[in-house]
Copies of this chain bind each other. A is one copy, B any other.
């Protein structure tokens, strides 16, 4: 398969939280981030989910920032005892962590408006690694932080999403892919050889083949992606032809067509 051209920046994500690994919570942030980055011409190259474990977070952050231009973390920046991400990020960069006056002011203003005090637990959320930039949190006050190329965001989806919007302007974008989904039917094995030939023949084309979630045939989607819109379109037409050669009617839709939350 052709790799995406290197002019698209790369990103990785680290989702932090025991609840994501014991079956309690199905992570929502990785999927949101994936689509959000793709729309901005940025390639998400890896996601990791780890526990609230200091060493595991430190090692994962350091692995991922070697692998990708940008790293996004989610989770573990709240006021409770299981919120250990800030200290782990400090350790990953070998930076001391201390209370930020600017962050404390933000928290004071936020809670003052609600007529509440900044308790010791809340005050923990003003601690940042030295030199970190703050990321505004329009939902619940307590800011995220950026240290170098690592964006440290909240795990609560509404806050995670709001923090992404807050940093949107500062991210360097790459060229967007044009995507066509060809929707047909039948087992993917019938098209396999044709798809190989097609991908080899067209430079800059990436093809994905996605059977439905039942595994028993039925709908089959072939996704054609390229930085070159003409290549993606011609590939989709060719895939429609492959379906027809198998006696199956197919139609093409621009973009992704997710049938259900399946893998």
Residues of A within 8 A of B (CB): 1, 3, 15, 17-31, 34-39, 43-53, 56, 74-75, 78-82, 119-122, 124-125, 139-140, 154-160, 162, 177, 187-193, 195-196, 199, 206-216, 223, 225, 256, 258, 261-263
Contact = CB atoms under 8 A, between A and B. Distances in A.
B38 A31 contact: no
Given A28-B262, A47-B49, A162-B215, 7 more contacts: A22-B38, A28-B213, A45-B56, A80-B195, A156-B211, A157-B262, A159-B215
B25 A263 contact: yes
A34 B23 contact: yes
Contacts of A213: 28, 156-158
A47 B44 contact: no
A263 B193 contact: no
A256 B18 CA distance: 13
A17 B263 contact: yes
A223 to B, nearest CB: 7
A37 B24 CA distance: 12
B156 A27 contact: no
Contact of A81 (B122, B192, B261): B192
Contact of A215 (B51, B140, B225, B262): B140
18 contacts: A17-B263, A23-B31, A24-B258, A25-B210, A26-B261, A27-B31, A30-B49, A46-B56, A79-B187, A79-B188, A79-B189, A80-B189, A82-B209, A124-B192, A156-B213, A157-B262, A158-B215, A160-B263
A19 B193 CA distance: 20
Interface centre among A25, A48, A125 (most CB of B within 10 A): A25
Contacts of A212: 156
B206 A18 contact: yes
Give the top 3 A-B pairs by smallest Cβ distance, nearest first: A23-B35, A121-B192, A79-B189
A208 B31 contact: no
Contact of A22 (B17, B19, B23, B34): B34
A21 B50 contact: no
A29 B31 CA distance: 13
Contacts of A214: 139, 156, 158
Nearest to A107: B189
Contacts of A210: 19, 24-25
